Structure 1
């Protein structure tokens, strides 16, 4: 093991490092975390943090989640937070100030941009690009090669925090392989964007988006099909 670390680093018990790992200043790595080869963890990052539950939270109260796992050749940016029970695949880039919550899986070579929040119980596929300040709501599923532009908001609660009916009906969004969402778009709870479905910037998606369809507006409606040269299978 070759570990290069900065000042004021806190490493808890049973943390496992691969070869050629660089850890910046003021980093905190919690118990049992595993970190693969050739990883870079920049200043003030927190890895393997156990979640804290608000009294009014609907999340189950869990005493201790399993440790976080970081794959090979992963970069974790300054002040990023990776929670316990997160699985970060090989070659993932997590930018400054990003948050990856508990029970989240991130596929290989995906980019998690600056300030992005991936909430609990989400799956993100391989080679996705989640750009600055987008929000991936809890219980969402993103396929491979998904593109999410800056400031996109996804949602999972049609009741907006009111009535007990909501407790059994939380549902995140599903974005299948090659789906693309333009800047400042909003995706309402439980909606599905099928393969290569594309949402124009600023749109509000209140219905499912069909395969290879380009939608625009509020509410978003199909305006045409995605050009052949832009389809994932033609890249």
Structure 2
């Protein structure tokens, strides 16, 4: 079902069972796979590839125990040019995906997120709300990126890494602050970052390390809890 109020560009192809809701805007040379849903107002740029069973522009649902920001700005999901979104992904409203981003199968990206140009979001990665991701960032399979986090340009995050933003666990939304990962830093497989710490530029966090405090630029951290490796 394609709404008569949607704007569809030239040379757009649709798979079986695709739903395009009203006021959606789809650019030229876009391919949308089977049974995908493009919700109201979603904007898709030119030369994009959208897989099957994808949901774009999903609305936020919460119960009484979930933290919400009543002042957050609401706007349509906006997807740039030459973006690839693989099968079974879910992207929420009020998020910006810049040009030439690749998003792997089964990934989830919440609202109020920005993903910079040429970045890669791996299979089954989860990006929580109000997180900023820079240019040419790689987030590999199964990593969990918490809310209220900043990831600068050219960061590498290996498979199954975990980050957190609530030091006291279920603190009611007060003082939630995820880690800041500075430009060019690298995290090995299964690394864990605790809330409100900064990983300096071009620092390296070894596989399986648990990082509980700030890491200076170009330092290498290994172990549990993470210790400074002698230079």
Q: What is the aligned counterpart of 2:155 among 123, 134, 146?
A: 146
1:129 aligns with 2:138: yes
Structure 1 match to 2:116: 107
Structure 1 residue aligned with 2:42 = 33
> Does residue 98 of structure 1 match 2:107?
yes
* Aligned pairs for 1:66-215 within 5 A: 66-162=75-171, 164=172, 167-215=173-221
Q: Which runs of 4+ in 1 moved over 2 A?
A: 60-65
Structure 1 residues 220 and 64, CA, compared in 2 at 3 Å: closer, same or farther?
closer
Q: Give the TM-score normalised by structure 2.
A: 0.93
Find the residue that maps to 1:48 and give its secondary structure. Answer: strand
> Tell me, what secondary structure is at the counterpart of 2:229?
strand
List alignment gaps of at least 5 residues for structure 1: 226-235
Change (3 A) 1:61 1:54: farther
Provide closer, same or farther for how the CA distance between residues 194 and 71 of structure 1 changes in structure 2, counting only shifts above 3 A.
Answer: same
Task: Show CA shifts across 1:18-65 (max 9, x none).
Answer: 110000000000111110110000000000111111220111257992
Which of 51, 56, 79 pairs up with 1:47? Answer: 56
For normalisation by structure 1, the TM-score amounts to 0.91
Could you tell me which runs of 5 or more consecutive residues in structure 2 were left unpaired when the two chains were aligned.
1-9
Q: Is the 8 A contact 2:73 2:94 kept in 1?
A: no
Contact 1:2 1:18 survives alignment (8 Å): no
Give me the whole-angstrom Cα distance separating, in 2, the residues matched to 1:106 and 1:31.
21
Q: In 2, distance between residues paired with 1:153 and 1:224?
A: 25
Q: Which residue matches 1:22?
A: 31
Question: RMSD of aligned C-alpha atoms?
Answer: 1.4
1:215/1:224 contact within 8 Å kept: no
